[in-house]
C-alpha cells in the first residue's frame, strides 16, 4: 500500500507572530497525534528565526523596549498546553541567565536584543521537542507569490539570488510584520529604513548633517545609533540628568522633524486597572451599528482622560473627585475645583495630543522644556503628572476600542480619520519610550548634536547631493535623510509584491470599508474574523494573515502580545481539524480497499 503524501504547512515570516503560530500548531499536533507525516516549512528573510528584524539578537544593547519585562511572554495559557515542559516568561528567562529573582527585574526595561535572544531560545526549545511525525524545513528566503494548485497552494520564493517554488501546501500562515516598501533601498543620501542600525547607519560619518523624518521611537533609535553607537557615552549628574560625552565620531548635527513637531511622551507604568472605565462601560452599547468617531468615540475617550487628569489634581489638593454614572455630576465637581484653584490648566484632549508652542521661545527650546517637564520626576509639576496619567488611559481602553474598530466598526470617514490622524497622535502620548531614553535625547540636544530647530513640518527639498530643510525663515543643508517612520500597509508599495500577487492570483481582494457614497481602503487584504483571506468569489482560502498585515481591519497589533487580535490559536485549530479529517478519510478509503480485495 502506498504511503499517503505528507500534510504540508507553511509559515511565512518567523518573527514573534510567526513563532506564536509555530508554537500553537506544534501544541495541536502533540495533543492530537496522527501517524501521517506533517511537513512544516518556515520562511524568514534572515537567520533570526523567532525574533525577526525588530527583535533580532545581534542589535546593540542601547536599543531598549518601551514596555517593562513583566509584559513579555512568548508562551500562552491557551489549550492545548505548549510542547515545552518548562516554558519561561521573559522575566524568568533573564533571571535564569543572571541567576537572580524574576521579581527583581520585572519592572525594568530590557534591550530589544535580549528579547530577541529569549524568542530565539524559545524557538530552539520548540525545535528540540518536535512531535515524531513532524518534518521541519527552514528557508532563509523571501516569499513573493502564492498560487492555487489543484487542492493546495504553491509558494514562490527568492533565496540567494535564485527564484524557487514549492508546491502541495494545505495551509499557509502569513506573518510578515511591517512592510518594506519598494523604495526601501539605502542610497548615498537616503536611509529609508534604519534596522538593523549597525548595518544601515554604519556609513554616517562625522562630516554629515543628518535630517530625520519622524520623531517617534525609531527616531530615538536612530539618534542613539549615531551617537552612543559611535562610541559616545552618557553619565548622570547629581540631579539625575544625563550628560553626553562624545566620541568625536558622531555626525555634525541631527535635525529631527515630523508633522506634529513634538516628540513622544515618556511611558510610565501606572496602575491602569485603577479607575471606573467610563469609556469601557458605555462603548459596549455602541457596537450594534457603524460608529462615528467624533460624535460617539472621542467624547468618551476625552471624558475618561479628563477624569484621570482631575483625579490626580484633586488628590494633590487632598480632595476627592467622586465618580458618578452621570458625567454632568463629574463636570460640576470639576467646575467647582477650578473656581477654588484657578491656577490649574483645564484639560483638553486636543491640547494633550497637539501642545501649543510658546512663541517667545525657539522650537528647540520649546521641545527641551516639554521633555524636561515629563522626565524630571523629582521636580515634575502636578499638571504634568496628571497629563501622563490621562495619556496612559488610552493604553487601558485601547483593547475595547479595538472591538469597536475591527471589521468596519467605524463608518468609512471615521475609519480613515482615525488611521490618518488620531492613531499616530494617541500613540505619541500613550506608547512612548522609557524615560531614560528621553533623558538621553535631552542630553544630545543640550550638546547641540540633536537640533529641534526644524521640528514642525519643514519644507524638505533635494539639493545637490543632499537635502535642504527650511521652516520659512531659515534653512539648513543636510547631507543625508533618514526615514524614521514605520511604513504603513500598502499593497501597491509593498516591496516583495506578495500581497499584490495574491490578488492577481485571485486568492485575495483588497479590503474596503464602504458607507453610503464614502469608501476607505487602508491598503490591506480582506479577511474573515479568524484572519482567513477572502477571495474575489467571497469564499475563504486556507491562507491566514496574522499581526501587522491585518492592521487596518483590526487595531493595535502589539508585536509581542499573545492575546491581542490572536489569530494563531484559531488558525492552528482549523489546521489540525483539516489534518484529522483527511486522516479519517484515508482510513475510510483503506478500509474500503481491503473490503473490496476480499
> Residue 495 — φ and ψ, nearest 5°?
-65, -45
The cell numbers describing 515, all together, are: 458607507
Q: What is the pLDDT of residue 187?
A: 58
pLDDT(277) > 80: no
Q: What is the pLDDT of residue 16?
A: 96
pLDDT(263) > 80: yes
Provide the mean pLDDT of the chain: 90
Neighbours of 200 (CB within 10 A): 18
350-371 average pLDDT score: 94
- Alpha-helical (H) ranges within 39-106 are 90-98, 102-105
pLDDT(293) > 90: yes
Map residue 400 onto helix, strand or coil. Answer: helix
* pLDDT confidence bin for 98, thresholds 50/70/90: confident
Q: What is the pLDDT of residue 280?
A: 63
Quote the CA–CA distance of 500 and 495 in Å, as a whole number: 10
- Find cell 496522527 and name the residue: 34
523-576 pLDDT, tens digit each: 999 999 999 999 999 999 999 999 999 999 999 887 799 999 999 999 999 999
Q: What is the pLDDT of residue 281?
A: 64
365-396 pLDDT, tens digit each: 999 999 999 998 777 899 999 999 999 999 98
> Residue 392 — φ and ψ, nearest 5°?
-65, -20
Q: What is the pLDDT of residue 150?
A: 84
Torsion on CA atoms 194, 198, 203, 206, rounded to nearest 10: 100
pTM here?
0.91
Going along the chain from its start, the domains and CATH numbers come out as 7-180+489-588 (3.50.50.60), 190-261+458-483 (no CATH), 278-430 (no CATH)
Residue 116 neighbours by CB under 8 Å, 6+ apart: 48, 50, 51, 55, 56, 57, 58, 59
pLDDT(594) > 90: no
344-363 average pLDDT score: 94
* pLDDT confidence bin for 283, thresholds 50/70/90: low
DSSP states of 455-497: -BS-EEEEETTEEEEE-SS-EEEESEEEE-SPPPP-TTTBTT-
Quote the CA–CA distance of 418 and 428 in Å, as a whole number: 14
509-518 average pLDDT score: 91
Quote the CA–CA distance of 343 and 308 in Å, as a whole number: 18
pLDDT(172) > 80: yes
Residue 53 neighbours by CB under 8 Å, 6+ apart: 15, 45, 46, 177, 195, 196
Residue 398 neighbours by CB under 8 Å, 6+ apart: 430, 555, 556
> Residue 416 — φ and ψ, nearest 5°?
-65, -40
Between 397 and 224, residue with greater pLDDT: 224
Longest CA–CA span in the chain (Å) reads 98
Q: What is the pLDDT of residue 76?
A: 92
257-264 average pLDDT score: 95
Using only C-alpha atoms, what is the Rg of the chain?
A: 26
* pLDDT confidence bin for 595, thresholds 50/70/90: very low
pLDDT(428) > 80: yes
Map residue 98 onto helix, strand or coil. Answer: helix
Percent of the chain with pLDDT over 90: 75
pLDDT(262) > 70: yes
* pLDDT confidence bin for 270, thresholds 50/70/90: confident
Gap between the terminal Cα atoms of the chain:
15
The cell numbers describing 293, all together, are: 468617531
* pLDDT confidence bin for 2, thresholds 50/70/90: very low
Peptide bond into 196 cis (omega under 30): yes
CB-CB contact of 488 with 177 (8 Å): no
CB-CB contact of 286 with 464 (8 Å): no
Amino acid at each position: 500500500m502506498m504511503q499517503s503524501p505528507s500534510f504540508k504547512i507553511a509559515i511565512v515570516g518567523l518573527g514573534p507572530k510567526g513563532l506564536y503560530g509555530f508554537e500553537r500548531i506544534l501544541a495541536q499536533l502533540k495533543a492530537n497525534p496522527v501517524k501521517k507525516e506533517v511537513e512544516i516549512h518556515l520562511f524568514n528573510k534572515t537567520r533570526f528565526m523567532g525574533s525577526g528584524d525588530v527583535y533580532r539578537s545581534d542589535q546593540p544593547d542601547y536599543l531598549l523596549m518601551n514596555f517593562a519585562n513583566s509584559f513579555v511572554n512568548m508562551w500562552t495559557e491557551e489549550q492545548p498546553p505548549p510542547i515545552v515542559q518548562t516554558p519561561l516568561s521573559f522575566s524568568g528567562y533573564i533571571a535564569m541567565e543572571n541567576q537572580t529573582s524574576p521579581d527583581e527585574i520585572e519592572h525594568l526595561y530590557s534591550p530589544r536584543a535580549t528579547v530577541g535572544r529569549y524568542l530565539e531560545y524559545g524557538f530552539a526549545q520548540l525545535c528540540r521537542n518536535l512531535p515524531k511525525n513532524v518534518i521541519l524545513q527552514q528557508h532563509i528566503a523571501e516569499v513573493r507569490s502564492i498560487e492555487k494548485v489543484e487542492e493546495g497552494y504553491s509558494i514562490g520564493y527568492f533565496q540567494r539570488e535564485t527564484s524557487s517554488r514549492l508546491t502541495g501546501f494545505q495551509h499557509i500562515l502569513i506573518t510578515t510584520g511591517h512592510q518594506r516598501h519598494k523604495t526601501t533601498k539605502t542610497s548615498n543620501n537616503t536611509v529609508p529604513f534604519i534596522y538593523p542600525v549597525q548595518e544601515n547607519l554604519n556609513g554616517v560619518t562625522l562630516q554629515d548633517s543628518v535630517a530625520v523624518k519622524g520623531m517617534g521611537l525609531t527616531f530615538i533609535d536612530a539618534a542613539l545609533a549615531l551617537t552612543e553607537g559611535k562610541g559616545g557615552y552618557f553619565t548622570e549628574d547629581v540631579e539625575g540628568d544625563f550628560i553626553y560625552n562624545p566620541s568625536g565620531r558622531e555626525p555634525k548635527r541631527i535635525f529631527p522633524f515630523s508633522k506634529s513637531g513634538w516628540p513622544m511622551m515618556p511611558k510610565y507604568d501606572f496602575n491602569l486597572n485603577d479607575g471606573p472605565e467610563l469609556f469601557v462601560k458605555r462603548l459596549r452599547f455602541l457596537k450594534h451599528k457603524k460608529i462615528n468617531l467624533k460624535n460617539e468615540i472621542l467624547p468618551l475617550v476625552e471624558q475618561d482622560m479628563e477624569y484621570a487628569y482631575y483625579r490626580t489634581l484633586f488628590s494633590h489638593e487632598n480632595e476627592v473627585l467622586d465618580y458618578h454614572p452621570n458625567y454632568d455630576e463629574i463636570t460640576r465637581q470639576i467646575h467647582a475645583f477650578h473656581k477654588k484653584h484657578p491656577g490649574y490648566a483645564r484639560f483638553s484632549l486636543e491640547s494633550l495630543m497637539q501642545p501649543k508652542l510658546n512663541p517667545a521661545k525657539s522650537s528647540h527650546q520649546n521641545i527641551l522644556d516639554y521633555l524636561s517637564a515629563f522626565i524630571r520626576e523629582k521636580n515634575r509639576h502636578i499638571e504634568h503628572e496628571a497629563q501622563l496619567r490621562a495619556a496612559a488611559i488610552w493604553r487601558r481602553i485601547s483593547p475595547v476600542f479595538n472591538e469597536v474598530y475591527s471589521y468596519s466598526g467605524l463608518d468609512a470617514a471615521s475609519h480613515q480619520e482615525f488611521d490618518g490622524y488620531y492613531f499616530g497622535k494617541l500613540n505619541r502620548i500613550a506608547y512612548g519610550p522609557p524615560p531614560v531614553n528621553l533623558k538621553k535625547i535631552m542630553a544630545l540636544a543640550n550638546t547641540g548634536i540633536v537640533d529641534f530647530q526644524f521640528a514642525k513640518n519643514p519644507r524638505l527639498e533635494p539639493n545637490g547631493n543632499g537635502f535642504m530643510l527650511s521652516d520659512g525663515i531659515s534653512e539648513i543643508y543636510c547631507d543625508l535623510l533618514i526615514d524614521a517612520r514605520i511604513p504603513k500597509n500598502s499593497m501597491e508599495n509593498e516591496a516583495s509584491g506578495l500581497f499584490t500577487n495574491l490578488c492577481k492570483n485571485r486568492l485575495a481582494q483588497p479590503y474596503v470599508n464602504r458607507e453610503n457614497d464614502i469608501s476607505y481602503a487602508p491598503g490591506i487584504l480582506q479577511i474573515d474574523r479568524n484572519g482567513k483571506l477572502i477571495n474575489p468569489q467571497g469564499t475563504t482560502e486556507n491562507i491566514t494573515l496574522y499581526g501587522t498585515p491585518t492592521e487596518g481591519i483590526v487595531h493595535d497589533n502589539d508585536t509581542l502580545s499573545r492575546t491581542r487580535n490572536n489569530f494563531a490559536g484559531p488558525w492552528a485549530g482549523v489546521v489540525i481539524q483539516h489534518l484529522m479529517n483527511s486522516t479519517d478519510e484515508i482510513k475510510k478509503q483503506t478500509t474500503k480497499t481491503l473490503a473490496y480485495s476480499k
